[in-house]
Amino acid sequence: MLLGAGGFIGSWMQRALVEGGAHVVAVLRPGHLKAGSGLAGSVVYCDLRDSEALRQEVRAAAPDVVFNMAGYGVYSDQADAEYADRINRHIIATLVDAVAELGNSDWAGARIVHAGSAAEYGDAGGDLRETVTARPSTLYGRTKLAGTMLLAERSAAHSIPSVSARLFTVYGSGERAGRLVPTLMSAAMSEEPIPLTYGTQRRDFVHVDDAVSAMMTLGTAKVGPGEIVNVATGTLHSVKEFVEIAAAVLKISPDRLRFGAIAERAGEMHHSAVNVAKLVDLTGWRPSITPAEGISRTRQSKADTGQAGSGVPAAT
Q: Which domains does the chain have, with CATH numbers?
A: 2-171+207-232+274-288 (3.40.50.720)
pLDDT confidence band for 270 (50 / 70 / 90): confident
User: Quick check: 114 pLDDT over 50?
Assistant: yes
Length of the chain: 316
Task: Write down the pLDDT at residue 126.
Answer: 75
Burial class (CB in 10 A: 0-12, 13-18, 19+), 284: exposed
DSSP secondary structure letter of residue 89: I
Average pLDDT over the chain, rounded to an integer: 91
Return the closest-CA partner of residue 169 out of 185, 180, 184: 180
**What's the rounded Cα separation, in Å, for the pair 98 and 46?**
15
Which distant-in-sequence residues (6+ apart) come within 8 Å of 285 by Cβ?
213, 214, 217, 279
Return the closest-CA partner of residue 168 out of 107, 108, 119, 202: 119
Q: Which amino acid is at 151?
A: L
pLDDT confidence band for 315 (50 / 70 / 90): very low
Average pLDDT over residues 56-71: 97
Task: Write down the pLDDT at residue 38.
Answer: 56
**What's the rounded Cα separation, in Å, for the pair 173 and 297?**
8
Write down the pTM of the prediction: 0.91
Task: Write down the pLDDT at residue 3.
Answer: 97
Task: Write down the pLDDT at residue 265.
Answer: 79
Q: Give the CA count within 13 Å in the CB-facing half-sphere of 64.
A: 10
Q: What is the pLDDT of residues 9-44, one digit of tens each?
A: 999 999 999 999 999 999 998 877 654 455 667 899
**What's the rounded Cα separation, in Å, for the pair 141 and 19?**
32
pLDDT confidence band for 301 (50 / 70 / 90): confident
User: Quick check: 121 pLDDT over 70?
Assistant: yes
Per-range mean pLDDT, top range of 37-46, 70-79, 275-284: 275-284
